[in-house]
Amino acid sequence: MDVADKVAIVTGAANGIGRAIVEQLLLKNARTVVILDVNEEGGKKTLEELREKYGEDRVDFIKCDVSNATQLEAAFVTTKTRYERLDIVCNNAGIDNEFELEKSVAINLTAVIRGTYLAVEHMGTKNGGNGGVVINTASGLGIMPFPLLPIYTATKHGVVGFTRSVASEPMVVENAIRVSAICPGAVKTSITENQDVDKTTRYGHLLRPLLANVTKMTTTELAANIIIMIEDSKYDGGACMVSAEIPLTKVEPPTIGVQ
């Protein structure tokens, strides 16, 4: 898909990776990108900064807690009403907190599932749309085990399993919706720069040295790879790994004789 003139939604885009995705979409001449984030202050600040840089009518912000089904659906409806089309959805919002099981599943997994089906409803060719692309932010920890963050890792494995499956679901294919998951290694954001990991994991003493030594991608480097996935259909249906050391690679799942 050529991003030029398209309308996009990016969740969790007040900061970090989401914000960088918004900026890369704008640099590729997306017509309008709508930021959904629960952080109203951060969202408004980002909106102001990006409007100043790229133009008033090119960026929008809707306060939305993606774990609230009503708010998420309303944000899609508002976007379609305001901009009359929707072409790209990046389900990116996520948290890392091993002490918040239900919240982690609700934000990292359930909201990604809901966001994908809302994308089908609002972009699908059988529903009056033009088709479109969905990119779900998983993690490298969606394809490898990580004993220090088992709940986070489980939610990201869920995103990978859902994305690989839903990409070939008949309803999704028939509506011309392409879906894939990005599985980044460590990226320099508030998650990996968090100095207070004891508040989010039992293993701060083990995580701190790992975080200090791991080579991190920048958010801009990662977002540029996400744009490649939007543009090139060869990544469709995939769990696509990328890190400071590994170029964008579609990781093929094992099969057990059933497709």
Ligand X SMILES: NC(=O)C1=CN([C@@H]2O[C@H](COP(=O)(O)OP(=O)(O)OC[C@H]3O[C@@H](n4cnc5c(N)ncnc54)[C@H](O)[C@@H]3O)[C@@H](O)[C@H]2O)C=CC1
Within residues 125-144, the interface with ligand X by CB under 6 A covers 137, 139
> Which of 83, 152, 203, 235 is labelled catalytic?
152
Quote the least distance from Cβ 165 to ligand X, whole Å: 19
SS3 assignment, position 191: helix
Structure tokens given for 31: 């017509």
Decide which of ligand LZSIJSXV, ligand X, none touches 203; Cβ closer than 5 to 8 Å per partner kind: none
Per-residue mark of binding to ligand LZSIJSXV, 6-45 (x: CB under 6 A):
----------------------------------------
What is the distance in angstroms between the CA of the first residue and the CA of the last residue of the chain?
Answer: 27
- Known active-site residue 152: yes
The C-alpha atoms of residue 165 and residue 168 are separated, in whole angstroms, by 6
Count each helix (H run) and each strand (E run) in the chain, helices first. Answer: 10, 8
The enclosing H or E element of 32 equals strand 32-37
Beta strands in the chain (DSSP E): 7-11, 32-37, 59-63, 88-91, 132-137, 177-184, 239-242, 249-251
Binding of ligand X by 255 (CB under 6 A): no
Taking contact as CB under 6 A, which single stretch among the options 50-58, 92-100, 203-211, 228-236 is the one that binds ligand X? Answer: 92-100
210 binds ligand LZSIJSXV (CB under 6 A): yes
Q: How many residues interact with ligand X (rule CB under 6 A)?
A: 29
Structure tokens at 58: 């090119």
User: Which H helix or E strand runs over 21?
Assistant: helix 16-27
Indicate which residues carry an active-site annotation.
152
Sites of contact with ligand LZSIJSXV (CB under 6 A): 96, 139-141, 146, 149, 185-186, 191-192, 207, 210-211, 214
